[in-house]
Structure 1
Amino acid sequence: MSDLLPMPSMSGDATPTTAAPATPATWRSGAAPAATPATRGTPMQTPFTSSVARTPLAANVPRPSLAQFYAGKYVMITGATGFLGKTVLEMLLRQCPDVAGAYLLVRPKKNVDPKTRVAETVKSELFNVLRESNPTFTDKVHCVQGDLVLPGLGLSEEDAAILRERINVVIHCAATVNFNEKLRLSLDLNVLSVQQMLAFARQFKHLSAFVHTSTAYSQCDQDHIEERFYEPPVSPNALISLVRSLPATAPDTLEGNLATALNGRRPNTYTFTKALAEAVIRTEGADMPVAVMRPSIVGAIHRGPIPGWQDNVNGPGGMYLTATMGILRVMQGHNDAISDIIPVDHCASMLLSIGWLIGTGPARPPTEDPPVFNCTSGAKNPITWSQQIDYAKRANSANVHRAKIVPIIPGEFTFVESKAVYEFWRFLLHTIPAKAADTVLRLQGKKPAMARLYRRLDSSIGAYTPFTTHAWTWDAGNVAALAAAMSPEDRENFNFDAATIDWPTYIFNYYLGTERFIPASLPGNPARNRVLSWLLVASFYTVQFFAAVFLFYYVFGERIQNQLFGEDSILSPLEQPAIIELEDDFAGGMAAGGSPIAGDL
């Protein structure tokens, strides 16, 4: 286990390759350095040289516009079928119409081949505006079959040769965003994939920029997160080797216990492996034109092309809708905690802008770390979790385009700080009504669904608990310098200024977008089943009644007992023995296995 100690700050964790790394000057000129084989556990190219990012982000450097920079260039996008990746693709093609082309690295998934996946991606409503202005935009979209965790990315020799010759900019978005993914798979998808992609990008003859998408929570063991690299919790290569040495028959608990021990103050394998991926960028990409962008909680589109567009309910959208429907009643968290949401189009704008900045700026001295950009909203335009829910409810009330959602169960959604109190109310407000509703569904000959819905809901919101119970602050100096280097026109076309977000309007569009763009992912409205709806309401009020009785007894029970049976009892001495005798008769009947009521029949 000694290999799992934090990496020393002045040395790598593997033997350097014999090929001398290319200097930034030769790299910028287009001369490719010696290729590094795309193998698992690629050796680190250069040692750590600095713990503080000092990036050449001077605004006075003459630069072309973003559209001019990307004109005639080929951009490689990983994760292009995902939420962020497809937004990057659309923005690139719409705002930079003279781009030479976009190469999308896509793997087969669930028996669907990559070309079909890309075809389905570009059919999305997200591309409607682009489709109207440029009906032939798909001619610039090239699908390349591959897999980031396979040696050589699983590319054919023909495809690999084309990419080596053509690619100018890499936007790396691919990752697993499952917060609680198994450690082995999370390492593959979030760390090994970065190593393999960097190793392959070294072979590109005309690489101008490589932008890696991390997360603002990669360093969430810190309360204040600067725009710099931090020492990784363990050596990425050593951990990958250790996990791969575990036998395939090893129980999941062994891997789970290892993940728990390694995560430390990080709440899940997602943030843990993202921290390791940043260490890989810092070391194995030290002599390359690389940069890191850290987005916080990625939400629906803010401005264009379609305000409110989204393709999943994994983020705040699902919380807005289920809270408004009355299904989600309670979450653990702080009502007044800052929720750091950043629109997906802001993230896409920043990724493309960083690629432009790196590709047009002065070469980075070899003693400096690659630049890091924190893409967050809380510092400039904060919003609390409770404000989000309030704005979502207003959106439902103000919606004139369709019938409003009437809450299935009346009452208010709330955050509670204590985990014990949360579990208590979750059982009362989620579990009991769901079990009762499923009983009715079974009696109706229908498939039970509510318990499963609540399990999924509780699991989803549980993953957000670390982010609703804690708040972070982030530096944004590099982001400010990036914006300052851009022209006013580019700042408008590639907007990532959180101060421009009007939260009530944004969440109104976000809420409507949840219903419009992903109806297949929404839970069916139980209000359509009158019996089920009635039972949910009845269960809720029954729970409230017994909770009130319990709390009343807890607070006043001893006082009532003293008044009834104590020295100052309000009952007469003749009445007390009668009550005691009645209690004895009831206890005796129950001990005999009978019922006092049944005995009277």
Structure 2
Amino acid sequence: MESIKEFYANQSIFITGGTGFIGKVLIEKLLRSCPKLDKIYVLIKGKRGKTPEERIQAITSTALFEKLKKQYPNAIKDKLKLVLGDATELNLGLSEEDQNLLIENVSIIFHGAASVRFDDPLKHAVLLNTRGTREVLNLALKMKKLKVFLHISTTYCNVDKPEVNEQLYPPHADWKKTIEIVENVDEHVLAVLTAKYIDVLPNTYTFTKSLAEHCVYDMCEGKIPACVCRPSIVISSRWDPVPGWIDNFNGPVGLLPKLKPDYVSVDTAVRALLLAAWNKATNKAEEEKYDVSFYNCSNNGLYTMSMEELIEFGKQIFWEAPLSNILWYPGGGVTGCKYWNYIRVIFLHLLPAVIVDNILKLLSIKPLLVKIQRRIYIANLAIRHFIMYQWSFPNYKCLTLEEKLMPEEAEEFGYDRHNVDVYDYFRNCIIYGRRYLLKEDDSNIDKAKKNLYRMYILDRIVRALFILFLIWFFVYKLEIFSYLGEKMQSIYDYIFE
């Protein structure tokens, strides 16, 4: 079996979803660790007033690509090419010239274009996640040099089962008929029928990703080497190319204390994609090569924390690298009682948001906190199913991919799963999230710590005053002790007289 670097050398790779979180890391890893590849073609939507060069600059102008630029300064300019299109359109919205370019040159496909919104209308989710997959495969089947097609799915596309193994499960609907329905039925009618149509699955995302897996199986089985990789919840990088890199604020906002979600770092997920494609394409056994393989790119309890542990740990780390412009001292906790949660949301989220927004209005500043709280509430509803239950995602087949690596490539392409310090990893997630997401300079940490301490003192003073107010209200305003005293005296008189 040829090494992984030998396999990717001189190959032209087509990537959909290249502007997404996983897609960016995949592009960087390919350009840096497989420098002898020929070209990477990235499907990207056209943007008025932006040249392809400006779009590439926008994609690669983050800390993620700094290491690549130092090692191979010309790699992005020479090897990364954009093709204008849209995964929701027929033929991917590609021009005839670009279609021919891809058909003649591409040998490896990573298909990751997808809507990851849980509240997407059924029509849009099907057109992108399911029909988009069909359109990529229609193109793939015409490619003259194609060695492997890899579809990026999700471990959560079969959440009606407590344990999701590395296999294809029976479909919840016919993917061909579903595409036909959304192409011809009015959106308002679809909105009414959605809950019934997606059956036991919680949202359109999981439903359409499940259909996409069946699309891959039906169109690839026995025809082209193909595999489906299912990452679980993809979060910040561990260390490759930089620790803690992330480009989005996605995450759970309502939690159960003992729940242990299945997280996987984005660099680990990308390594699994590269290994899966390499293994499938270089498999010499003909009877296996054209069978569609399924891999769960999951943590499966290897290194994780419960939600309760993660929140308490986050509070500790916040003292190491606090944010500069906080409105209040950060706190919070986990509860299994939804009614107590509602009370806390009203008094600790909504009420302060209303007060601050009214102050902003008085200062002629656009209010924003109530709007943010509304978005958080809607997001909480969308992911409620995923934060209330525990799933198991066995990943034996995915782990065994690493064992096939050459010893000299293990460090660069292996998972390094035995050397994970979970506390150090989540510390980096928080500290580097401050840097990459909020663009805060590390030089102002000392100033931020002083501000955090002031907020802590203010928080404690306000809490103490609130408790004193409650005591005053119940004791003096309602005269509750006098009332209880009278009742006790009445009971005493009744018993002893």
Equivalent residues in 2 for 1:453-472 (5 A)? 453-472=372-391
Q: 2:284 aligns with which of 359, 362, 385?
A: 362
Instruction: Give 1:580's aligned residue.
Output: none
Instruction: Give 1:97's aligned residue.
Output: 35
Instruction: Give 2:200's aligned residue.
Output: 265
Name the CA distance, whole Å, in 1 between partners of 2:465 and 2:390.
33
The amino acid that maps onto 2:34 is: C
Instruction: Give 1:385's aligned residue.
Output: 307
Query: Relative to 1, partners in 2 of residues 1:196 and 1:356: Cα closer, same or farther, differing over 3 Å?
Result: same
* Contact 1:81/1:118 (8 A) holds in 2: no
* Contact 2:257/2:307 (8 A) holds in 1: yes
Name the CA distance, whole Å, in 1 between partners of 2:316 and 2:149.
42
Query: Relative to 1, partners in 2 of residues 1:266 and 1:156: Cα closer, same or farther, differing over 3 Å?
Result: same
Equivalent residues in 2 for 1:245-284 (5 A)? 245-247=184-186, 251=188, 254-284=189-219
Instruction: Give 1:130's aligned residue.
Output: 68
1:422 aligns with 2:341: yes
Q: 1:185 aligns with which of 124, 128, 131?
A: 124
1:310 aligns with 2:269: no
Equivalent residues in 2 for 1:399-418 (5 A)? 399=321, 408-410=327-329, 412-418=331-337
Rg larger for: 1
Larger relative helix fraction: 2
Q: How far does the alpha carbon of each residue in 1:395-421 deviate from its partner, in whole angstroms, 9 at most, with x for none?
A: 22234xxx6669744474212223333
Q: 2:293 aligns with which of 371, 375, 398?
A: 371
Equivalent residues in 2 for 1:487-498 (5 A)? 487-498=406-417
The DSSP-based 3-state class of the residue aligned with 1:292 is: strand
Instruction: Give 1:443's aligned residue.
Output: 362
Name the CA distance, whole Å, in 2 between partners of 1:425 and 1:166.
58
Name the CA distance, whole Å, in 2 between partners of 1:543 and 1:117.
54
The amino acid that maps onto 2:9 is: A
* Contact 1:441/1:448 (8 A) holds in 2: yes
The amino acid that maps onto 1:223 is: P
Instruction: Give 2:232's aligned residue.
Output: 296
Query: Relative to 1, partners in 2 of residues 1:396 and 1:255: Cα closer, same or farther, differing over 3 Å?
Result: same
Superposition deviation, residue 147 in structure 1: 1.6
Equivalent residues in 2 for 1:147-296 (5 A)? 147-247=86-186, 251=188, 254-286=189-221, 287-296=223-232
* Contact 2:14/2:109 (8 A) holds in 1: yes
The amino acid that maps onto 1:395 is: I
The DSSP-based 3-state class of the residue aligned with 1:398 is: coil
* Contact 2:323/2:448 (8 A) holds in 1: no
The DSSP-based 3-state class of the residue aligned with 1:224 is: coil
* Contact 1:79/1:173 (8 A) holds in 2: yes
Query: Relative to 1, partners in 2 of residues 1:479 and 1:366: Cα closer, same or farther, differing over 3 Å?
Result: closer
The DSSP-based 3-state class of the residue aligned with 1:365 is: helix
The amino acid that maps onto 2:198 is: N
Q: How far does the alpha carbon of each residue in 1:334-369 deviate from its partner, in whole angstroms, 9 at most, with x for none?
A: 212102111111111111111100110124538984
Instruction: Give 1:321's aligned residue.
Output: none
Q: Single out whichever of 359-368 and 341-350 deviates more from structure 2.
A: 359-368
Name the CA distance, whole Å, in 2 between partners of 1:546 and 1:269.
49
The amino acid that maps onto 2:365 is: K
Q: How far does the alpha carbon of each residue in 1:141-182 deviate from its partner, in whole angstroms, 9 at most, with x for none?
A: 111111222222222222211211111110111111111111
Instruction: Give 1:344's aligned residue.
Output: 266
The amino acid that maps onto 1:478 is: K
The DSSP-based 3-state class of the residue aligned with 1:414 is: coil
Superposition deviation, residue 458 in structure 1: 3.0
* Contact 1:77/1:105 (8 A) holds in 2: yes
Query: Relative to 1, partners in 2 of residues 1:528 and 1:564: Cα closer, same or farther, differing over 3 Å?
Result: same
Name the CA distance, whole Å, in 1 between partners of 2:474 and 2:48.
55
* Contact 1:396/1:405 (8 A) holds in 2: no
Superposition deviation, residue 430 in structure 1: 0.8
Query: Relative to 1, partners in 2 of residues 1:244 and 1:468: Cα closer, same or farther, differing over 3 Å?
Result: same
The DSSP-based 3-state class of the residue aligned with 1:119 is: helix
**Unaligned residue ranges in structure 2 (runs of 5+):** 441-446
* Identical-pair percentage: 28
Query: Relative to 1, partners in 2 of residues 1:494 and 1:367: Cα closer, same or farther, differing over 3 Å?
Result: closer
* Contact 1:339/1:378 (8 A) holds in 2: no
Query: Relative to 1, partners in 2 of residues 1:491 and 1:220: Cα closer, same or farther, differing over 3 Å?
Result: farther
Q: How far does the alpha carbon of each residue in 1:543-569 deviate from its partner, in whole angstroms, 9 at most, with x for none?
A: 96599779999xxx9998564347726
Instruction: Give 1:582's aligned residue.
Output: none
* Number of residue pairs the alignment of both structures matches: 481
Q: How far does the alpha carbon of each residue in 1:53-109 deviate from its partner, in whole angstroms, 9 at most, with x for none?
A: xxxxxxxxxx11111110111111111111110100000011011111111111124
**Unaligned residue ranges in structure 1 (runs of 5+):** 1-62, 317-330, 573-601
The amino acid that maps onto 1:470 is: Y
Name the CA distance, whole Å, in 1 between partners of 2:380 and 2:408.
39
Name the CA distance, whole Å, in 2 between partners of 1:101 and 1:570.
92
Name the CA distance, whole Å, in 2 between partners of 1:484 and 1:372.
17
Superposition deviation, residue 529 in structure 1: 12
Q: How far does the alpha carbon of each residue in 1:234-260 deviate from its partner, in whole angstroms, 9 at most, with x for none?
A: 11121222222223xx53xx4333222
Superposition deviation, residue 516 in structure 1: 1.1
Aligned-pair RMSD on alpha carbons?
3.5
Query: Relative to 1, partners in 2 of residues 1:483 and 1:428: Cα closer, same or farther, differing over 3 Å?
Result: same
The amino acid that maps onto 2:265 is: P
* Contact 2:225/2:291 (8 A) holds in 1: no
* Contact 2:226/2:290 (8 A) holds in 1: no
* Contact 1:376/1:498 (8 A) holds in 2: no
Instruction: Give 1:146's aligned residue.
Output: 85
The DSSP-based 3-state class of the residue aligned with 2:343 is: helix
Query: Relative to 1, partners in 2 of residues 1:566 and 1:397: Cα closer, same or farther, differing over 3 Å?
Result: closer
TM norm structure 1:
0.73
Query: Relative to 1, partners in 2 of residues 1:549 and 1:357: Cα closer, same or farther, differing over 3 Å?
Result: farther
Name the CA distance, whole Å, in 1 between partners of 2:128 and 2:472.
49
Name the CA distance, whole Å, in 2 between partners of 1:161 and 1:340.
41
| Greater relative CO (CA pairs within 8 A, separation 6+) | 1
Superposition deviation, residue 231 in structure 1: 0.9
